[in-house]
Amino acid sequence: MDWLGAGLMVLAGGMAAESLWRVHRLKREVYRFTEQVERGLDDIISGKGFEETGESEKDSLWGRCSEKLWRLFHIFTKKEEANVREKQLMKELISDISHQTRTPIANMRLYLEFLQEEEVSEKGREFLAHLEGQTEKLDFLLKSMVKMSRLEAGILHIRKEQAKIYDTIAGAVGEIVPSAAKKQIQLSVDCGEEIQVKHDKKWTEEAVFNVLDNAVKYTDSGGRIHVVVRSQEVFTKISVRDTGKGIARERQAEIFSRFYREPEVHGENGVGIGLYLARKILELQDGYIEVRSEAGEGAEFSLYLPNGTV
């Protein structure tokens, strides 16, 4: 009986040892498999490529998983190559459209200058003035459409640099001064020259100008537009307040849509993409835009740019 008990103990010990060895081996294989999957995914994400598993490993768990990852990598690669080709074609098409339309518009302006130098009747001068206005509208429309197309095709490149936001605001305000002066709108700016933000100066200036242009269109003659810039904890806020017509609450969700225009300004130049572009430009810089307004009480547009330096 003692021999039987001893034998059973030895057998149990052997089985326990074998179980521990199997568990250790399985754990080691799981760790190895996990590391292989992690390396494979890292290679796919980084774009280094992914090699197909050799014949000797094809029947293993890693071999089967590796084959799936290899197929996945090639699917992603083909899609990325197709996206690059499509983007390049779109870039060339937009460039061609921009170039092909620039020359006819320049010629139209030249012909207008020649005609304006000639002796024409008062009625003729009215027609020339109308034609000049329509030419400017067409030029504005085409430039706006090209900007929007570049943005939507993903070929608008944002290059952020740490710089004074004062210079960006000054550029946008300088552009809007002639339009504001025509309506005798008072412009004022409150912006510290020391405030620095990492942003794309060219496109941020475009966004601020679009908001200012919108304010001028919706503000009656003799009104006021006030620009305030403040550095907050997380964002730098650019506020554009006007004494214009205001925006009804039910319309505020629509104003950042493409081609949206308020009924009151259909006589003004524009195609309804200024605020849409402003929103997209800010989003590309991890910022955002919001509006606060009531009908008949003016509007405040707030543009937010992150203060982070990365």
- The answer to whether 303 and 289 are in contact (CB under 8 A) is yes
Mean pLDDT taken over the chain: 79
Q: What are phi and psi of 195, to 5 degrees?
A: -70, 120
Q: What topology is assigned to 161-306 in CATH? A: Heat Shock Protein 90 (3.30.565)
Cα–Cα distance for residue pair 8/26, rounded to 1 Å: 26
Is the whole model's pTM more than 0.85, yes or no? no
Is the model's pLDDT at 136 over the cut of 70? yes
Tokens at 136, concatenated: 């400017």
Average pLDDT, integer, range 62-81 = 72
Average pLDDT, integer, range 46-62 = 60
Cα–Cα distance for residue pair 224/68, rounded to 1 Å: 63
Specify the length of the chain in residues: 310
Q: Where are the domains of the chain?
A: 161-306
The b/e string for 82-96 (b: 16+ C-beta within 10 A; e otherwise) is eeeeeeeebeeebee
Alpha-carbon torsion angle 135, 178, 127, 121, nearest 10: -140
H or E segment and range at residue 305: strand 299-306
pLDDT of residue 147: 75
**Residue 71 one-letter amino acid:** R
Cα–Cα distance for residue pair 275/268, rounded to 1 Å: 15
Q: What are phi and psi of 19, to 5 degrees?
A: -65, -45
pLDDT band at 49, cuts 50/70/90? low
- The answer to whether 131 and 162 are in contact (CB under 8 A) is no
DSSP letter assigned to residue 51 = P
Question: HSE on the CB side for 126, CA within 13 Å?
Answer: 3
pLDDT band at 82, cuts 50/70/90? confident
pLDDT of residue 310: 46
* Strand partners for 94: none
pLDDT of residue 99: 64
- The answer to whether 144 and 278 are in contact (CB under 8 A) is no
